[in-house]
Amino acid sequence: MKFNAKKLLLVSSIAAALAGCNSSDDKKDSISIDLRLMETTDIHTNVMPYNYFVSQEDNETNLPEWGLARTSLVIAETRKEVSNSMLFDNGDLIQGSPMGDYMAALGTEHLQGEMHPVYKAMNYLEYDAANLGNHEFNYGLDYLDEALKGSEFPYVAANVWKADDSLEKVSNATEECEVRITEDFYDTAEHMYNPYVILDREFIADDGKAHTVKVGVIGFTPPDIMGWDASHLVCNVVVSDIKKTAEHYVPIMKAEGADVIVAIPHSGLNNNDDEFAENASLHLGYVDDIDAIMFGHDHRDFPNSTDEYGDIPDVDAEKGLINGIPAVMPGYWGAKLGVIDLKLNSNDGGETWSVDHNHSTAELRSLVEGSDGAVEDLVVTEHEGTVEYMAETIAEIDVNMNSFFPQVVPDLSIQVVNEAQLHQLHKWKAEGEFADASEDALFLSVSAPFKSGRNGGADYTNIQEGELTNASVADIYVFDNNTPAVLKMTGADMKRWIEWINSNAYRSLPLAEGETFLVEEFPGYNFDAFFGGFSDSGEGLLKYTVNVENGSRFTEIDGFNYTETENEQLTSLTYYGTEIADDAEIYVITNNYRASNSGMPGVDNAVVVKEEAAFVNRELVQFYLADRLEMQEGNELEFPNAKVFQLEAPNTTSVSFASAKLEEAFRCATNEITGLSTEQEDGTKEGTEGFTIYNFNFDYNGEFNCAAK
């Protein structure tokens, strides 16, 4: 083909002229909008700024640094500063505090006549949309559906689907409900909830006029809910991978006209590329056309300057960017408000809009003085009911129960749970369960300190009034969704389990300059301690010793990826004074969360031989206390310490670690519990302030319990 130079020159001239005209028109039609997005996350029914685990007098003296009624004032201030704003919630609303417990105790039927208090507050605050967190599923689908009827704003959960017999199964076994998720799945499966919404909003642009902007909102929940709430969800719900689901739906949202797409995943941030990852917010930063990420789930702050995200490529934690996309995670319980300011541009007079990420920002805002009385008034009935319910006395006790020092001193807050679980395990055995167990099989329990500073320097079990109440049981076992499960394993499995805990929990000795002993990023609720009951003489049957100067068995740990060495810190593991053999047959009762950790050493080779969905582990504590009281006269219970484990460090004088900033913790560490001391020096955990430094000198020759005041 021959080109005509004259024609080509003419076309070029016309194109240049048109470009010049368009350039002039572009300037005339170019407008911008400043849009503020606000986010709350992990409220956990903390509507009131009230600590139900301490007295009313204490609450009046020290206004808690949390509660949606306090966040309300920040939301109002933040809204006033701008012309255009939207408000979202990331999830974990209806569970996780005494008020949540109280509402769950009232049941689904109560919600048919009364709105859940979180929605009374959130409707008043005029939320635009919200996402389902994992804890929304804790009380079952019927309870969740009834609660959601109180919401006057839309909910999204793109990766939660209805289980359907027509979907392709992983296995053809009749009892198998796991579905194979292929590309066809997204077009054939039916959603349980709306995957996304596109909201038409009128915003004021810099030309002073109102323009319609289509804001798409898409949400996700952790795929792990299928293990955590298996009793409610298996064969009822299917969950897909967060990133793949986003890659499917975001182009659809754009095709439907979304100008802006906001992702609100209930999913944390870490450096992984796993399919079905629990924490997949990093992945969403690489999905085209997502303009803002408002995440939650792991109760941390983003942006921040602690360097905890410093090793993640393409994450700028100080600016709040994930692969250049503005992102926020505002902690927990309403203590912070996440704020993203987006710059929207239009070159066609407001017909369509795009986001200028380079001129968009992210920040967290802290609480201001006071609390919103209007929000408090909305939930006063539920608040008063919670106070009354939590104050009900179960039994008197002879010691303090706390979770201040569980990694260095055997802890009663763990032991009480273990006693309750083991009590139930022996009940099942007496009823004929585990009939195939050998005569010398060991029956044990394992649990962890569920309140150990995750939510600040006061977030510890702290029972000091000489009595157990309903609040005490919630204080001991904060996760009221865990159901019991029994694992069958060997002695070798149990040893690997303990070595795994050691490797994660303790830094190698000797410590480097400025290092503290405990690995702070290893959460306390994963610090498992085993228990085997008491002999007739009152001695603990299970004992183990850990030499923390030996090298760690597991190194290069990243989730459940690791390098396993020949090192051994566990130097002794006995039951009734006899070393437990590698081939010993062991039945361990735990919770469904731990039993689902199939990649964790010790659990990886175990077999789940029983799961019980009829009650939760917190109820096991209540059942146990009731059984003990029924077997005795009087209302006082004694709790001797089984002294299950002991740390050794022959060449180390003492170590320091951060824990509770509480007067009761100071008292227990001063002439109450052997080996502990404190100068009450301020400390941090994972860069978070508000903790105290304690010292431990490996002395186990005295008192393990802290006496009740």
Note the pLDDT tens digit of each residue in 683-707: 998 878 899 999 999 999 999 999 8
> Taking Cα atoms as reference points, which of 218, 310, 217 lies closest to residue 269?
310
3-state secondary structure of 32: strand
Tell me what percent of the residues of the chain surpass a pLDDT of 70.
95
> Taking Cα atoms as reference points, which of 136, 132, 155 lies closest to residue 95?
136
Please enumerate in sequence order all residues whose Cβ is within 8 A of that of 403, keeping only pairs 6 or more positions apart, or say none.
411, 413, 414, 449, 450, 451, 452, 460, 461, 462, 524
Contact 289, 250 (CB under 8 A): yes
6 pLDDT band, cuts 50/70/90, is very low
pLDDT digits (tens, 9 = 90+) for 623-647: 999 999 999 888 999 999 999 999 9
5 pLDDT band, cuts 50/70/90, is very low
> Taking Cα atoms as reference points, which of 385, 428, 463, 374 lies closest to residue 610?
428
Instruction: Output the pLDDT for position 562.
Output: 96
> Taking Cα atoms as reference points, which of 155, 208, 153, 162 lies closest to residue 188?
162
Tokens standing for 53? Answer: 């685990």
Q: Which amino acid is at 131?
A: N
pLDDT digits (tens, 9 = 90+) for 567-595: 999 999 999 999 999 999 999 999 999 99
pLDDT digits (tens, 9 = 90+) for 412-464: 999 999 999 999 999 999 999 999 999 999 999 999 999 999 889 999 999 98
Q: Residue 355 pairs with which residues in a beta bridge?
A: 344
Instruction: Output the pLDDT for position 229.
Output: 86
Using the predicted structure, report yes or no on whether residue 209 has a pLDDT greater than 80: yes
Backbone φ and ψ for 473, nearest 5 degrees, come out as -65, -40
How far apart are the C-alpha atoms of 530 and 443, rounded to whole Å?
11
Whole-model pTM above 0.75? yes
Q: How far is CA 588 from the centre of its chain?
A: 25
Q: What does 351-369 look like in DSSP terms, one character per residue? A: SS-EEEEEEEEEEEEE--S
Instruction: Output the pLDDT for position 9.
Output: 39
Contact 269, 315 (CB under 8 A): yes
Tokens standing for 525? Answer: 């609720």
Rg of the Cα atoms in the chain: 28
Using the predicted structure, report yes or no on whether residue 17 has a pLDDT greater than 50: no
pLDDT digits (tens, 9 = 90+) for 87-132: 999 999 999 899 998 999 899 999 999 999 999 999 999 999 999 9
Q: How far is CA 488 from the centre of its chain?
A: 28
Q: Alpha-carbon dihedral of residues 62, 65, 70, 73, nearest 10 degrees?
A: 110
How far apart are the C-alpha atoms of 321 and 313, rounded to whole Å?
11
Instruction: Output the pLDDT for position 466.
Output: 84
How far apart are the C-alpha atoms of 402 and 630, rounded to whole Å?
25
Instruction: Output the pLDDT for position 606.
Output: 97
Please enumerate in sequence order all residues whose Cβ is within 8 A of that of 72, keeping only pairs 6 or more positions apart, or say none.
121, 125, 371, 372, 374, 375
Q: Alpha-carbon dihedral of residues 672, 675, 681, 683, nearest 10 degrees?
A: -110
Instruction: Output the pLDDT for position 173.
Output: 58
Going 420 to 426 to 431 to 432, the CA torsion angle's sign is positive
> Taking Cα atoms as reference points, which of 116, 622, 523, 541 lies closest to residue 279?
523
